[in-house]
Amino acid sequence: MSAIEKTKLVFTRKVVLASTVLGLLAILLGIHLATVDQPDVTEYYELLASSQANRDRAAIAKFTGRQERKNIRKTILFSYPEGRRALRLASDESDLVFDIGAGDGEIVEHLRGVTCDMQEELYYQLSDGREALPQDGGRLLVRGGDTNDPSAWIDVASEGIIPMQRIRHVDADSATYYYKRDLFAAESVSLTRFFVGEHVLSEYWDDVSPTMQGLARAVQFSMAGNDPSFKAYHLKLTLFSKEGLL
């Protein structure tokens, strides 16, 4: 082999060696660039989950559910020292709406064909025409009587006494019930007050004589607590007896 051929062979070997070294360096660099540290992986998945959660919250924030209902009946009992009184709310049909985008969420029922009966007072009619009111402990006290007067107290088992109740009746074409606040609200409301000879809140009233009738621009009352706190606005009344003002 000549000196020139030996020189070419050495040069070729150096080129191959250099190419091999450069190739290995390129592979190692590629592996390094393609490798992600575990903290980086964790951060990536946290960002991905956060992004998905934000999209989910945005979708939920716009969610509104609706349910149609028929022949709704609600009866609520209120406790007083002398006993319990009932309120019954009825509606021909309604739309129950759940809106999660309204603050913490609100459930509202839009009622149509609404009636409401409220027991305003439970009392007893005595055989001599006087009235007696139930007291704490089940005793009866003559209306307006002195608690220190023994004759003002009446035994509930006395002969000839009749249980009576004063009813407030409400009619409205439409109303709204806010579940979160336990609030009933209606506009253009017809009001009637009458007396019935029993303590049971019946669903139907026959042959009742109203002591008061009226129209209110709006009414509101709460179903929370121990008192409905009935309020009527811009009320126009027609009285048929002095009891209509009670």
Q: Which two tokens stand for residue 138?
A: 């089940």
d(CA 161, CA 52): 71
- Percent share of the chain, pLDDT over 90: 45
| Burial (CB count within 10 angstroms: exposed 0-12, middle 13-18, buried 19+), residue 110 | middle
Q: Which is nearest to 123 in space by CA: 102, 106, 144? A: 144
How far apart CA 78 and CA 80 sit, in angstroms, is: 7
End-to-end CA distance of the chain: 133
pLDDT band at residue 52 under the 50/70/90 scheme = low
Residue 26, exposed/middle/buried by CB under 10 A (0-12, 13-18, 19+)?
exposed
Query: Which of 12-21, 97-106, 116-125, 135-144 has maximum average pLDDT?
Result: 116-125
Q: Please state the domain extents for the chain.
A: 3-60, 64-245
Q: How many CB atoms lie within 10 A of CB 199?
A: 17
Residues listed for the chain: 246
Q: Please state which of the ranges 109-113, 121-125, 137-141, 170-174 shows the lowest mean pLDDT.
A: 137-141
Q: What value does the mean pLDDT of the chain take?
A: 79
Pairing of strands 210-222, 231-239: antiparallel
- The pTM for the full model equals 0.69
